Amino acid sequence: MSETLIGLVSQYSPSGQEHGAVEWLVARMKSLGYDNAFIDEAGNAVGVMGQGAKQVVLLGHIDTVPGEIKVEQVSDLFYGRGSVDAKGPLASFVDAVAKVGVKDGWQFVVIGAVEEERNSEGARFVATQYKPDFAIIGEPNQWDRVALGYKGSAWANVTVKRGQAHTASGEETAAEAAVEVWLKIKAYVDSFNADKPKVFDKLLLTLRGMDSDSNDFEQWAKLKVGVRLPVEVSPEDWYVKLKEIVNGEIVEPTGFAISAWKCEKNSQLVRAFLSGIRSQGGEPRFVYKTGTADLNIVAPVWQCPAVVYGPGDSALDHTPNEHINLDDYRKAVEVLSAALEKLSG
């Protein structure tokens, strides 16, 4: 059962270098009896099982962060870059759909998306190509847990400018003003979070960098400010508030801002997973994550019941010790198979 996992992890594929792994996975899905397997226009690996009117999309990502790790099995532990994040979940999708096979009236689409660790270009493409009845997103959350929400994120550069002044003048420098601006931002976030006991409902603020410089007439300091967003605060809301807090200083949004997403808990899909986990002797648990995932990209577009599922310990994401327990992987395949059987039964 672990051949798909081992083969996929053996294909080193950091973001931007996924093509070899994509070709391997397409060939693997063909060998497992998928009705169709191909590389789409964005470079994603796609496998299709069945031709029914009701569709389930199982969306994982095939790229990893950089940093090659020796691919090896030590007892029941399997080491390699991506074994957890997130080739383990993706491989479990591939194996589970192969195990279930064709179900009358249903179509299962497994996608290994590119670029998730950067700008989610693969997921942004597939969001426009499918309109599934159910969506399963692949991220590591342990075989007996179902993730129902991921926070959003927004990044901005806040630049403070001041006129040049003699160092003995006593006037506030741009760097000093920038520190005060940061403290104001932090004070607002602390106030916002004060009555929110759950981390998922809080703003999670981070200062990722600060630099300053000057010329003959002007000095400036730039703060690189990031925030993880709760469902109730959209990126647009945050940028408006940030501009209000810094009161006239320059705010420049950077990168792709992403809204938080919380899945419906009482759905046919969730019930299928609860049943699947119990079938393997597990006690199902729900989790809400502080990071972002491709869920945040596709769920607002598809507007269908969705969950995030996959074997592996997310504490090992991006680490030099990344590894997955093969027994947990096997259980995850069985959970997915049982869930798909119940959903399509």
Is residue 201 located within the same domain as residue 282?
no
Is residue 14 located within the same domain as residue 145?
yes
**What pLDDT, on the 0 to 100 scale, is given for residue 171?**
79
Is residue 180 located within the same domain as residue 243?
yes
Instruction: Determine the structural domain holding residue 186 and report its residue range.
Output: 152-258
pLDDT digits (tens, 9 = 90+) for 32-43: 999 999 999 999
Positions marked active-site? 63, 116
**What pLDDT, on the 0 to 100 scale, is given for residue 76?**
94
Is residue 23 located within the same domain as residue 68?
yes
Q: What is the 3-state secondary structure (H, E, C) of the chain?
A: CCHHHHHHHCCCCECCCCHHHHHHHHHHHHHCCCCEEEECCCCCEEEEECCCCEEEEEEEECCECCCCCCCEEECCEEECCCCCCCHHHHHHHHHHHHHHCCCCCEEEEEEEECCCCCCCHHHHHHHCCCCCCEEEEECCCCCCEEEEEECEEEEEEEEEEEECCCCCCCCCCHHHHHHHHHHHHHHHHHHHHCCCCCHHHCCEEEEEEEEEEECCCEEEEEEEEEEEECCCCCHHHHHHHHHHHHCCCEEEEEEEEECCEECCCCCHHHHHHHHHHHHCCCCCEEEEECCCCCHHHHHHHHCCCEEEECCCCHHHCCCCCCEEEHHHHHHHHHHHHHHHHHHHC
- Global pTM exceeds 0.75: yes
Is residue 200 located within the same domain as residue 267?
no
Is residue 216 located within the same domain as residue 80?
no
Last residue of a domain, one of 203, 232, 258: 258
pLDDT digits (tens, 9 = 90+) for 187-245: 999 999 999 999 999 999 999 999 988 887 799 999 999 999 999 999 999 999 999 99
Domain of residue 184, CATH code: 3.30.70.360
Is residue 34 located within the same domain as residue 139?
yes
Is residue 62 located within the same domain as residue 123?
yes
Is residue 41 located within the same domain as residue 121?
yes
Region 61-84: what's the mean pLDDT?
A: 97
Domain of residue 135, CATH code: 3.40.630.10
Is residue 161 located within the same domain as residue 18?
no
Is residue 161 located within the same domain as residue 142?
no
Q: Give the count of domains, the chain.
A: 2
Is residue 336 located within the same domain as residue 302?
yes
pLDDT digits (tens, 9 = 90+) for 76-122: 999 999 999 999 999 999 999 999 999 999 999 999 999 999 999 99
